[in-house]
Amino acid sequence: MKLTDHKVLTFDCYGTLIDWESGVYLATEPLRTLGRLDITRDQQLEAFAKHESPVQTETPDMLYPDVLAEVHRRMAKDLGVTEATEEDHVRFGNSVPYWPAFTDSAEALRRLHKHFKLIILSNVHRAGFAASNRRLGVTFDKIITAQDVGSYKPTPRNYDVMVEEMAAMGIEKHEILHTAESLYHDHWRCGEMGINRAWIYRRHDQEGFGNTRPVETEVKPEFVFHSMAEMADAVEAEVAG
């Protein structure tokens, strides 16, 4: 199988194109300050991961800023930060537009767009992604958010909608390459559904799972890269022959 056997790249955004972990870590700094918390970056990210997916499962139609606010409430309770206010929770919920892009994302997307349609399949809401899109500097051919679907990945419905939308564009499932960092939100579910995958393994030089829950099954994506730039290089090498 080659990368260029595919016609479309469908992207997870946060963790893959946008530096989700840095965004969350920076946005939780007030919580650590209020609680005088002595915890590592990974401990903070794991505290986030503990609550994000459960909140999304419990309230699949809740918009992402409200999901984040509830996650912040639960983190504050777990970490014993009784000083945290509702304003603090809401501020964290509205932090998505401030999360930075990975430095290689915009240029890699520009290069890849010469060879593929580019689609977003994201767990955020439309307004949040619109702010991130400005950081990425590319016009995606289709944007599908959790707000559009009414549920959050890794719910099968999100991928069903993606496949249906691609079919409407004349693209068959085997022509889709889902490109993502998260094994939990993306790769194991795509494997179950027969969707080819490119793993952008941003955490290759770190231990643990960071902002995401561990996966409980073996996951073997068809392609593995450590960055978006590395993936774009591989595509251009195939094209050059």
Catalytic positions, written as ranges:
12
CA triple 94-99-100, angle to 5 deg: 160
Cβ partners under 8 Å of residue 44, min gap 6: 24, 25, 28, 32
- CA distances to 16, 75, 150, 196 from 186, in Å: 11, 24, 17, 11
Are 21 and 131 contacting, i.e. CB atoms less than 8 angstroms apart? Answer: no
User: What is the enclosing helix (H) or strand (E) of 197?
Assistant: strand 196-200
Are 208 and 46 contacting, i.e. CB atoms less than 8 angstroms apart? Answer: yes
Bridge partner residues of 14 (DSSP): 18
Q: How far apart are CA 109 and CA 111, in angstroms?
A: 5
Are 140 and 86 contacting, i.e. CB atoms less than 8 angstroms apart? Answer: no
User: What is the enclosing helix (H) or strand (E) of 19?
Assistant: none
Bridge partner residues of 197 (DSSP): 178
